[in-house]
Structure 1
């Protein structure tokens, strides 16, 4: 394939990283990013600093506006209507075409709607874009009753931020505690209990319907309880945006299927970030990953593959989150077969390690423990075995164990 041009459909972190990496690796052809929102910006602050008003729109841009001109990366504020990889082009909704010797799909995901009566009300909010955050912030005043459905990472972050804005927050989730698969049950319990301690009303229940009467919403639960709220936000995950891929005949199964170099079944099309799902050489389908670093890593990998470079090596999967003034990080898998070792301070769990049956660290999560997670990541990546007693002992340096 003669790589004269690359068109990237989607301007999130994965799409931007692809463009940046192509230039840093010496690609001199045309690069175009197409996104309805224009210049790429960072999404994690939307539920934190941006929602709180502490960071403005310019502060969350992934790079300064002049970078794109300096690096000859065109940003088109528009929506792609059709992929034409055989013809080497993409078609915009306005009928314009853009040359695309290669296409990189970075379309991300749309907020999952609540599959209940009233879940599709236009007043039931979501948080995926800067516009969503602006709309939510405008409604959150002191005394506003906010019901957040879904207490995962986004729901917990929004609940924490809304509380700081003076809202009266009710956090609803059918699981108690949420996030156990991500951080282990012990840390999940500690994190979830923080909500009530900070003044958030926590409800364990399954929503069955939402009605609206004027400006008031009523969230019905399977238990028969009803939660009244001025504002309702659903944070129950995303649905990958695969419509363009499906229309182009690409293989799709809860995401656009790619190999380990982010290639789809069509030699001119790659997929990165939240929308991509890896199929291993033996046919195994890996779960999609939706975290910040994964988006960056897949963009880097796609750029290398487009240029025929060796596939970059990435460490164990890593994520982070913030709530109520504490920082949460996790790496690897906390659900892998094996056992959990806790490191506690004054009887409070601060770090959880997951060990496989052979005693190797395969996962770790920590509250305000970035150093521990970095050490654990090194252990995972380098297959370093540690004594469980040392992992549990706060007096033992994890950096030393990771050497």
Structure 2
């Protein structure tokens, strides 16, 4: 039976992938109490990966990026309200919006996501300095890309390189400034960084490594150039910030919940308050060894949401899904499954413009990075999810067929 007005069995703060998925998963599993989803944006929940990909295409103006159809929430008895949350009161188990509305909960799920990291340099507030996190940001950036001539992108991660590819496709002059010695250093091995850098250079993109922006210069309040620590002054009529993301954990911190560059949760995605969960980009998950991981991945957000739905319904298993990521950069498709570390041993297999890097730790496969090799990525996901053990010698065998291992893993799994 549905609860009384203002009281929800599950209250969800955040209308991104994680928030929408847990509401859907609860209903699919037969959860009958009231579900309230508090969405802080003016739009219906939408697909965020498209913002740096399809939403920047010329044909995207008429596209609908909504995650679910217009009647999805009402047809499933999910109350979706648009409001910005101002305060969490754990004693009264309530959440208060900026406009004074209040909702009480039995279970609270924080799916507050993150926001682009600000660049603390003079000129960062000038017109023509763009960031990309929301649908409105993407729409504004698409228009700006059409009008710009010289585009400087600060940050050589996924977002920055996806924007670089979109700008280069428009025949714009594009420069990427990266503070480290290679692209995507935080998430991929040097092998992938190299092939991605070669591709962007072939598209006319200039790459500046081991450099940083010290000032964004403008005239009349509008950006005109970027000054770097190396002393270069680069013409720019559009500057795009891609320097990382900050977790939206302030609501939790103000309510006394522990945070560490994200809302700290255990292996069941619970905070210290057992009535409160955190999922998605805002969640910092502590593993058995005490290490904290925060994965900025749409797939992890949806997997965590599905897991918390089962936990609310009585499941006591720890969260254990294998994470995977992807990035489309022009003609490149970069895919990652698992999480590698800098000290991992690697086995590299390359054929033409296809590349896959197998990362091994203590002799065990822990991650696969692929460029234009979706078949290996898909098979690798199945192998990692089933815990198949592959040795370095076998992976290095040029005649080795990874698909046969996956088939064997499926057969073994079917008997167990």
Query: TM tier, shorter chain?
Result: over 0.9
What is the aligned partner in structure 1 of residue 308 from structure 2? Answer: 302
- Give 1:377's match in structure 2, choosing from 381, 396, 403: 381
Secondary structure of the residue aligned to 2:224 is strand
What is the aligned partner in structure 2 of residue 247 from structure 1? Answer: 254
- Give 2:109's match in structure 1, choosing from 104, 109, 118: 104
> Are 2:195 and 1:187 equivalent residues in the alignment?
no
Aligned partners of 2:189 and 2:342 also within 8 Å: no
Q: Specify every segment of 5 or more residues in structure 1 that has no aligned partner in the other structure, as ranges.
A: none
What is the aligned partner in structure 2 of residue 50 from structure 1? Answer: 55
**More deviation, 128-137/212-221:** 212-221
User: Cα deviations across residues 164-216 of structure 1 (Å, max 9, x unaligned)?
Assistant: 23432211112232124423111210011211101112222211121211334
What is the aligned partner in structure 2 of residue 6 from structure 1? Answer: 10
Secondary structure of the residue aligned to 1:140 is helix
User: Cα deviations across residues 343-391 of structure 1 (Å, max 9, x unaligned)?
Assistant: 1215x66111112232x21111111112212222333333433353542
User: Cα deviations across residues 207-231 of structure 1 (Å, max 9, x unaligned)?
Assistant: 1121211334221111101111001
> Are 2:262 and 1:258 equivalent residues in the alignment?
no
For 1:57 and 1:310, locate their aligned partners in 2 and report how far apart those are by CA, in whole Å: 44
What is the aligned partner in structure 2 of residue 65 from structure 1? Answer: 70
Instruction: Compute the displacement of 1:76 (Å).
Output: 1.1
The residue correspondences of 1:356-367 to structure 2 (distance < 5 A) are 356-358=361-363, 360-367=364-371
Instruction: Compute the displacement of 1:121 (Å).
Output: 3.9
Aligned partners of 1:85 and 1:100 also within 8 Å: no
For 1:154 and 1:239, locate their aligned partners in 2 and report how far apart those are by CA, in whole Å: 14
Aligned partners of 1:119 and 1:210 also within 8 Å: yes
What is the aligned partner in structure 2 of residue 92 from structure 1? Answer: 97
Secondary structure of the residue aligned to 2:92 is coil
Aligned partners of 1:340 and 1:355 also within 8 Å: yes
Aligned CA distance change for structure 1 residues 393 and 326 (closer, same or farther; 3 Å): farther
Instruction: Compute the displacement of 1:336 (Å).
Output: 5.6
Aligned CA distance change for structure 1 residues 351 and 294 (closer, same or farther; 3 Å): same
> Are 2:335 and 1:323 equivalent residues in the alignment?
no
Aligned CA distance change for structure 1 residues 104 and 288 (closer, same or farther; 3 Å): same
For 1:274 and 1:331, locate their aligned partners in 2 and report how far apart those are by CA, in whole Å: 17
> Are 2:48 and 1:33 equivalent residues in the alignment?
no
Secondary structure of the residue aligned to 1:305 is helix
For 1:307 and 1:161, locate their aligned partners in 2 and report how far apart those are by CA, in whole Å: 44
Aligned partners of 1:187 and 1:349 also within 8 Å: no
Instruction: Compute the displacement of 1:314 (Å).
Output: 4.3
What is the aligned partner in structure 2 of residue 147 from structure 1? Answer: 152
Secondary structure of the residue aligned to 1:69 is helix
Q: CA RMSD in A?
A: 2.2
**More deviation, 156-165/135-144:** 135-144
Secondary structure of the residue aligned to 1:156 is helix
> Are 2:175 and 1:170 equivalent residues in the alignment?
yes
For 1:25 and 1:292, locate their aligned partners in 2 and report how far apart those are by CA, in whole Å: 21
Instruction: Compute the displacement of 1:110 (Å).
Output: 1.1
When normalised by structure 1's length, the TM-score is 0.92
> Are 2:130 and 1:125 equivalent residues in the alignment?
yes
Secondary structure of the residue aligned to 2:293 is coil
Aligned partners of 2:337 and 2:369 also within 8 Å: yes
Secondary structure of the residue aligned to 2:195 is helix
> Are 2:396 and 1:392 equivalent residues in the alignment?
yes
> Are 2:228 and 1:221 equivalent residues in the alignment?
yes
Instruction: Compute the displacement of 1:161 (Å).
Output: 1.1
Secondary structure of the residue aligned to 1:183 is coil
Instruction: Compute the displacement of 1:146 (Å).
Output: 1.3
Secondary structure of the residue aligned to 1:329 is strand
User: Cα deviations across residues 320-346 of structure 1 (Å, max 9, x unaligned)?
Assistant: 111122211011233264411111215
Aligned positions, number: 399
Instruction: Compute the displacement of 1:54 (Å).
Output: 3.4
